[in-house]
Structure 1
Amino acid sequence: MRKTLSLAAVVTAAAGLVAVPGVSSAGTPKPEVQWVTCPADVALPGLECGKLQLPLDYREPRGRKTEVMFSRLASKNPGKRKGILLTNPGGPSEGLTFPAVLKAVGLPQSVQDAYDVIGVDPRGIGYSSPSTCDMTDEQMADGSVPPYANNSAEVRQRAGEVRKIAEQCLNSSSADELPYNTTANIARDLDSIRAALGEKKASFLGYSYGSYLGSVYATLFPKTSDRVVIDSNLPKGGWDVEGGRLMGRGVEDTFPDFAKWAAAHPEHGLGTTPQQVRAKFFDLAARLDEKPSVEGLDGRTFRLLTFTGLYGTGDAAFAKLAASWKAFDTGQPQPPQDYPEVPRVQALLAGRLHVICGDSAWPTSVGAYERNVAVDRVRHPMFGAAAANIQPCAFFPKPLEKQVLPSDRGPRNVLLVQNERDPATPLAGARSTRRAFGDRAAMITIDQGGHGAYVLGKNKCANDKVTEYLLGGQRPDDLRCAAETS
């Protein structure tokens, strides 16, 4: 039976609600872990899986429950074990396999010895009581980042499309869980995992969206959060309307790295100077807007593929992006892409919408997005008119809880790690979070591009400093790591 979440019901519930800080365990039943066999696609070497029944609404700890699944990559060295390291890969998205991913990409053995590394599917996502918005294949194809809007008419057209998605979310079988699937409650779930595992404190490592989750965790739980490392940082408000708009700036910051590389590799036919490569971008976008490719891909898709292509850096990532451009330019099919199964995309996108729309109040006027798009199309012409375009959040109910912002009250235990050029979470947003934490935080900035720094970015200076902090607890002061050519 479908459950409809009416706007009136949400407004009524919100009327008497006060902001809920980190909820004390006093009076709350201690959650008990149910250890289970990991799902087949999560059953990686060394991983164990557990489930917890946690409060859907932490104001009613003995009320209705939601199921949260987590994984553990346990330390094999009891003599060096310090505790647990909660992790989040960003998204919001599934995180059960993330401990194994970190191990595979080079998480230092010393960190694996020091911590049981914990991965979590956040509530509403993956194997944790998954959400749905009953999206069609066409709706899912647009993903989480809006399409580029060439004019106000396209913003209004998109408004009609995302209003439909919002209505589907509010009338879905998981609609009654929607107001509670927020970052604040995910942070409370993390602290419940800590308690269930019998740990007095927990450290944290999170990337991208996980940077905001880490900020909220450190803010709500200053006494039980230990060493907090947040990487590829969203601004202080997380993925709200302004955080989303920053992607336009991120592409402008990061694209020169690709343009320089492409100019040095003229065999791809994209230009022999960075200026020519940039001009090729606008030429291809305009041509595809006018006439889509042989596969029906238009300028919106080209811009989005360029945006995601800038997540990586170096020869392999840039060669893949250049091959995609060349296919567009010559009228050939796109190189093969790996896509997840449709049911997983459905749960992922629905769960992500629940979180970002429930964390903060988005503008409800379509005209506000028309103005934002018009400004950002000029200010950040490559991608600004996509990043500023309207989201389904414009048609979601008002959040039940006040937006959680980083607090400068608490221990000096937060370390930000940030590439200076990042397409999705640019340096400007990281500086916003760094300022909000005040003396609680320090930030390592790295002269490199791409999305993801610690371990993923391969910069020895940054990697060594983060590892030293996780192992020794001595947080460095603000510092800048130079680019490395090796």
Structure 2
Amino acid sequence: MTLQPRKALLLTLSAAAVATGLGVGPASAGAATPQGRPPTLDWGHCADAPADSSRECATLRVPLDYGKPDGRQVDLAVTRIRSDRPEARRGALLVIAGGPGGSGVAEVAGRGKKLMEATQGMYDIVSLDPRGVGGSTKASCGLSDDDRDLTHLRPWPGPGGDITENVARAKRIADACARNGGELLRSISSTNEVRDIERFRQALGEEKLSAVGRSYGTYVGAVYAQKYPERTDRWVLDSNGDPDPSRVERGWSANMSVGADDRFPDFARWAADPARDSGGKKQRLARTPEEVRPLFLALAAKLDREPRKFADGHLLTGDRLRQNLQQALYDDKSFGALADLILAASRDGAAPVEAPELIPVTIPDTEAAVMIGVLCNDVRWPKSLASYAREVAVDRVRHPLTAGMPVGVMPCAFWKDAPADKPTRITSDGPSNVLMIQNLRDPATPYSGALKMREAFGDRARLVSVDSGGHGAYLKWGNACGDRAVSTFLTTGERPGRDVFCKAEG
């Protein structure tokens, strides 16, 4: 949106873990001079890395406001793993983290070596922490623990679709961000992340960048390719959203209803398989896949009326069960934990629910602030509360698995500041050097949205469609066809002459 659950929970356009307290090199990059001299980077050993690690870290200084380049600066944590085959090196491969609010530093720490192997050492693997998160200058809204509860931060309606509590909470969060976020929070946007990436390119001394963006990172990558086409080399976008400039994040959130419907049958087949009851593990939920969906919906409705408690006292509500479902749909490996939770919640009695959740109770204030900041600073959201109520009512009928949440009222409805930049329209203008890869059944960035990105790029792009479920495709599920198409493009520049379909494997 390497996937860490909480990072995909607000908008789910990521999969990166957020780094906290990551150390950087011993010195910072200087700001560009008024004469335009590019910034430099003083690389050093990463404080969080083992002594024998080849990963390096530095700090890049960028303008808080690019309209005032000599004004206040903010620090960005940056990282690299240098090519292990310098004689074969052809440039730098930028990892663009998802989120919004994902840590590129953590992405490289987690999968940089895997990318190095897949690209045969032809690139330095590089990335940055976007402003506001990880090792970069941190943002904050000063939100309470209750407002950072995931089932509150996301606009899950009350039983029956009532949005009264959502409205009150959204206004409270918007007010807190306006009061506590300051200039830094107002500067957090996709457009400024693109500007920061261009600043990073200059500091690296690279004429062009290659890139792998995932989830929300595909939008950042698409905007960079639109604004700086001459600076792009081999551009990979993995798990794409609809780039409609009139909606962007608002549209991505709404599309999650479709994503859940696309993906749920995979879980239903798994949960009805007799193999679930083998090996002493009782996880089978129903005799047939067709029975799993009504079973889940009935349990969620029951928990709406009669929440259960976990051992620590927090409640398992219907919405909290739905939130756990959404997270489980990201990865087949989470299906077992979701089945355990469903079975535990289905047992009669007042005893605490013993099964663990797939989601944290709350997320850190920094993560919440950055996610909200990008959502609300990128595009205008409707102000009419009646329109939200109508959309929720309709969406609940069409997509009961998500109960109207994806079209619910967000703090952006009460945001104090208008977007500083207009959303970028992605077009076919520019070099034909974009390769998209997409699972057919992605719960976060559904295939239908990816087709909109493909359409916007025109002949600039080719699309590799993978007959798989889950979020994230490249080097994720072991589909050799999809992985081969991307790795070949990155290592040879050879891109398919037309869109490609990869059959399910394994």
TM over 0.5: yes
Q: Is the 8 A contact 2:64 2:184 kept in 1?
A: yes
Match of 2:499 among 475, 478, 482: 478
AA partner of residue 433 (structure 2): N
AA partner of residue 262 (structure 2): D
Q: CA deviation at 1:229?
A: 0.7
Which residue matches 1:262?
Answer: 271
Match of 1:116 among 111, 121, 124: 124
AA partner of residue 461 (structure 1): C
Q: CA deviation at 1:339?
A: 7.0
AA partner of residue 240 (structure 1): E
- Distance change >3 Å, CA 149–CA 250, structure 1 → 2: farther
1:317 aligns with 2:334: yes
Q: Distance in 1 between matches of 2:476 and 2:34?
A: 39
Q: CA deviation at 1:179?
A: 2.7
Deviations 1:208-262 (A, max 9, x none): 1111111111111101011111111111147521211100110000000000111
Q: Is the 8 A contact 1:156 1:366 kept in 2?
A: no
**Mapping for residues 332-481 of structure 1, pairs under 5 Å:** 333-336=353-356, 345-396=364-415, 397-476=417-496, 477-481=498-502
AA partner of residue 73 (structure 1): I
Which residue matches 2:97?
Answer: 89
Q: CA deviation at 1:457?
A: 2.2
Q: Distance in 2 between matches of 1:376 and 1:444?
A: 30
Q: Distance in 1 between matches of 2:382 and 2:444?
A: 21
Q: Distance in 2 between matches of 1:195 and 1:438?
A: 29
1:284 aligns with 2:299: yes
Q: Distance in 2 between matches of 1:250 and 1:39?
A: 39
Q: Distance in 2 between matches of 1:452 and 1:69?
A: 24
Q: Is the 8 A contact 1:240 1:362 kept in 2?
A: no
Q: Is the 8 A contact 2:63 2:71 kept in 1?
A: yes
| Partner SS for 1:140 | coil
Which residue matches 1:191?
Answer: 198
Q: Distance in 1 between matches of 2:304 and 2:49?
A: 39
- Distance change >3 Å, CA 91–CA 124, structure 1 → 2: same
| Partner SS for 2:69 | coil
Percent identity reads 37
Q: CA deviation at 1:376?
A: 0.9
Q: Distance in 2 between matches of 1:455 and 1:148?
A: 36
Q: Is the 8 A contact 1:42 1:96 kept in 2?
A: no
Q: Distance in 2 between matches of 1:336 and 1:40?
A: 29
AA partner of residue 290 (structure 1): R
Q: Distance in 2 between matches of 1:365 and 1:341?
A: 30
Segments of structure 1 that go 5 or more residues without pairing to the other structure are 1-23
Q: CA deviation at 1:44?
A: 8.7
Q: Distance in 1 between matches of 2:36 and 2:354?
A: 54
Which residue matches 2:242?
Answer: 235
Deviations 1:385-435 (A, max 9, x none): 111111111111210110112121100111111000011110011011111
Q: Distance in 2 between matches of 1:378 and 1:90?
A: 30
- Distance change >3 Å, CA 133–CA 77, structure 1 → 2: same
Q: Is the 8 A contact 2:341 2:357 kept in 1?
A: no
- Distance change >3 Å, CA 341–CA 146, structure 1 → 2: closer
**Mapping for residues 10-159 of structure 1, pairs under 5 Å:** 28-40=36-48, 45-92=53-100, 93-103=102-112, 106-107=114-115, 109-111=117-119, 113-142=121-150, 145-152=154-161, 154-159=162-167
Which residue matches 1:13?
Answer: none
Q: Is the 8 A contact 1:149 1:386 kept in 2?
A: no
- Distance change >3 Å, CA 179–CA 99, structure 1 → 2: same
- Distance change >3 Å, CA 239–CA 281, structure 1 → 2: farther
* Number of equivalences: 456
Q: Distance in 2 between matches of 1:324 and 1:464?
A: 37
Q: Distance in 2 between matches of 1:445 and 1:25?
A: 45
| Partner SS for 1:353 | helix
**Mapping for residues 167-186 of structure 1, pairs under 5 Å:** 167-172=175-180, 174-186=181-193
Match of 2:288 among 273, 284, 292: 273
After TM superposition, the score normalised by the length of structure 2 is 0.85
Worse-matched range after superposition: 260-269 or 289-298: 260-269
Worse-matched range after superposition: 199-208 or 377-386: 377-386
Q: Is the 8 A contact 1:149 1:373 kept in 2?
A: no
Q: Is the 8 A contact 1:71 1:97 kept in 2?
A: no
Q: Distance in 1 between matches of 2:484 and 2:252?
A: 29
1:226 aligns with 2:233: yes
- Distance change >3 Å, CA 482–CA 31, structure 1 → 2: same
Which residue matches 2:13?
Answer: none
Deviations 1:176-233 (A, max 9, x none): 1233211111011111111101110001111111111111111111010111111111
AA partner of residue 305 (structure 1): N
Q: Distance in 1 between matches of 2:356 and 2:265?
A: 25
Q: Is the 8 A contact 1:408 1:436 kept in 2?
A: yes
- Distance change >3 Å, CA 341–CA 89, structure 1 → 2: farther
Q: Is the 8 A contact 1:131 1:347 kept in 2?
A: yes
